[in-house]
A and B are shown apart, each in its own frame.
Chain A
Amino acid sequence: MRIMCTGRLDPAITARAFKKGLDGLLIIGCYFGDCHYISGNYQAKAKLDVARRLYEYVGMNPERLAFRQCSSGEASVFVKIVTEFTEKIKELGPLGAGGDRLESPLLIKKLETAEAVLAGEKIRWVIGKRAPFLKTGNMYGEVFTEHEFRRAADMIIVEETEVQEILAGLRDGARSVKDLAASFSMPVEKVFRHILALKRKGFVVPERIVGRSPLYTLAPKEV
């Protein structure tokens, strides 16, 4: 498939592709410094690195998503890249059938969460700000090391996945914090913290109180 630049590749597209049953996705772009769009390949690498960490976290083998580089004049390199990737995917087998930490129906469900995470605001700010964070620092002038950045990104992956799972859990109707915590085997305090944050941002609202627990539901979309 042709895209103008690997920078065009929206990481949420990769999640949708896997969700629909793709077994492997290979993205080939120019070498760093040779990008016809100046910095598109750096952007792609940053996006796909985070996507791979997320896939690993939600139970898919991250090897199924690869970012490789070669120039248009390097036929043999291209062949090597494609052959190696094909062999790798053959080895892993179809998605969710042994080659991944989770098995299929559950994995697909997790990939839905991954898609929501990758399409979301938080992760995209982190990816977008990767270069300035590593070079010039954040708005407080704190410069991160690669290691610190990865740790921060990992933390956001975990948090965002939990948040998206909670939101998905509320799609079918109001539920209590305890109930949510039980179904995702998450500590109650953690779910409570997420719910409070979501409430503050206007994503969820308390609907009614059953016994001593309030039931939360998705806030009606603004028109």
Chain B
Amino acid sequence: MPADKSDDIRIGVFICHCGSNIAGYLDMEALGTYAETLPNVAFVQRNLYTCSEGGINEIKKAIGQQNLNRVVVASCTPRTHEPLFRSSCGEAGLNPYLFEMVNIRDQCSWVHMQEKEEGTNKAKDLIRMGVAKAALLEPQKPIMSPVFPRALVIGGGISGMTAALALANRGYEVVIVEREGRLGGMLLDLNRLGPSMTDALQLAESTVKAVSCHPKITVFTGSRVTGVEGFIGKYSADIETPTGGKKIDLGVVIIATGARVFVPAGLYGYDAERVITQLEFEPRLKQGIDPSIKSVVMIQCVGARNEERPYCSRICCQTAVKNALLIKEKDPDTKVTILYRDMQMYGVENEEMFRESKAKGIRYVNYNPDRPPQVQAGSVLVYNALLGKDMELPAHMVVLSTPLLSREDSDEVGKLIRVPVDANGFFLEGHVKLKPLDFATDGVFLCGSARFPANIREAIAQGLGAASRASIPLSKGSVVVEPIISVLADMDACRGCGLCVALCPYGALEIQKTDKGRKVKVIDVACKGCGVCAATCYQHALTINSFTDNQIDAQIEAFLG
């Protein structure tokens, strides 16, 4: 059994060729010979693919045979391969945190394809730095914590309700907090939903009924979440309800706060009467449009894709086409023209709807944002670049397609739960591809238009997805947290001043009274290991596992040679 920690440090260095990705551009033999000369290195091996089954077995074999107590792999990016190598070390009986990864591919061999000598020298520097850090690594233990089997869903729109139902049907208790007086959100304002033309009210009513009757779901309408404390598995939320304040324990949080529509005050003669938004148009379509209206002009991208709001709200094009089709359904003789910059009609069904709209005689005219259309009494003037002149389109009514905006209080909600929002105020997921419904903060998930404008179908899909993600910690009953976190390494040095507590972005530090006076305490499961506290503590009492001052200094020293 290899020792986890001993005075005799024996580092194994595995240098990966990555086929020809690394070996094609660096002098691998020189790297191998060089690694052997480094302090504490007991074993060096080069592999064609260290991540292959053969490569992994070589690491495991060497840990046993060579009695290695540290492993360095010089290969690709830790983003994709660190977990694999760590667990391989663990399988061979070595503490997984006695492993260090050096990336000699992404920012080395791939960059220096034409500079073999310089690239090789840089790889030598990187390996030397990795070896220096590895010598100082300490074994770590993963952290376990129980999960309270209840979810909080903030927002009772279609996305939040769907997520709540999905979780409740799996047997978990759910609490929904809705700001408005009733459930349903923006869905209540809609008429029919494209492309299937489903009745919005029917969907809203059936979902609200299912939610309200569900024995596992508690709904607080006209309520707000005013405080969230804790961390994954052990949150506690303060809720302000019309009947007074409530405090509830929970394990996970889903943010489904939705979005709001941009009101184009001062744009294109908007008057909420003859010139209205698509959202205002929906109830009119439902009641039936005034039969005297024989021509409708829709203008796309109103207040969107400009300097103030550079993003495309992506659902307005399909909404416009859907509503244009509904006009034609009522009265095929009504003239409908859509003035657009680019049509965003993604997906098979939307594309089909777009084709159908053209077949039914809906006209599309491209406009240039530098020469925007002008709304006049009874008509709209638009410059047509193909004709090279202005066209005057009769318009008994003008419908403006405006983007969805983030909620005014999204920043506030984000701060409450310690999750980020982007430049436009929409919530920012943990990773655009790998964690689209999770936040970087464990135990908090998101769905619907709170992230980015979504149509009803997408909001439902995301609600189901967020519920699925949230049910992982709920069903496991406990969470395991990476131990690369803050630790109070020097209890005596800590004065309990609280500067670190004030700066911690995750609320993972607290001051507690001990028999040695006020001391800081790290809440292991809440800490994400950013290191702000360690970089701030003037008593140098706090540090970060696997990123200690010593280890960072050692890497810099090794670099300087």
Contacts and interface: CB of A to CB of B under 8 A. Distances in A.
Interface of A: 1-5, 7-13, 16-17, 20-22, 33-40, 43, 47, 119-121, 124-125, 127-129, 132
B450 to A, nearest CB: 16
Given A9-B531, A12-B549, A121-B538, 16 more contacts: A1-B552, A2-B103, A4-B530, A7-B531, A8-B535, A10-B535, A10-B552, A13-B549, A13-B556, A21-B560, A34-B422, A37-B440, A38-B420, A38-B505, A121-B539, A125-B499
A121 B540 CA distance: 10
Interface residues of B, number: 41
A6 B129 CA distance: 19
B35 interface: no
Q: Among the interface residues A5, A11, A12, which one has the most CB atoms of the partner chain B within 10 A?
A: A5
Contacts of B529: 4
A120 B538 contact: yes
B534 interface: yes
Given A1-B129, A3-B531, A10-B535, A128 B502 contact: yes
Contacts, number: 107
B553 interface: yes
A7 B528 CA distance: 12
A8 B499 CA distance: 15
Interface string B522-561: 0000001111101111111000100101001101110110
Contacts of B422: 33-34
6 contacts: A1-B559, A9-B535, A16-B556, A20-B557, A22-B560, A33-B423
B428 A34 contact: yes
Interface string B423-452: 100001010000000001100000000000
Contact of A40 (B421, B484, B530): B530
B553 A5 contact: no
A106 to B, nearest CB: 20
Given A119-B538, A119-B540, A124-B538, A3 B532 contact: no
Contacts of B544: 4, 8
A43 B552 CA distance: 18
Q: Which 7 A-B pairs have the closest CB atoms?
A: A8-B531, A37-B530, A38-B505, A7-B532, A5-B530, A10-B535, A121-B538
A3 B420 contact: no
Contacts of B556: 1, 13, 16-17, 20, 22
A185 B220 CA distance: 70
Contacts of B54: none
A154 B458 CA distance: 53
B185 to A, nearest CB: 26
Nearest to A23: B560
B506 interface: yes
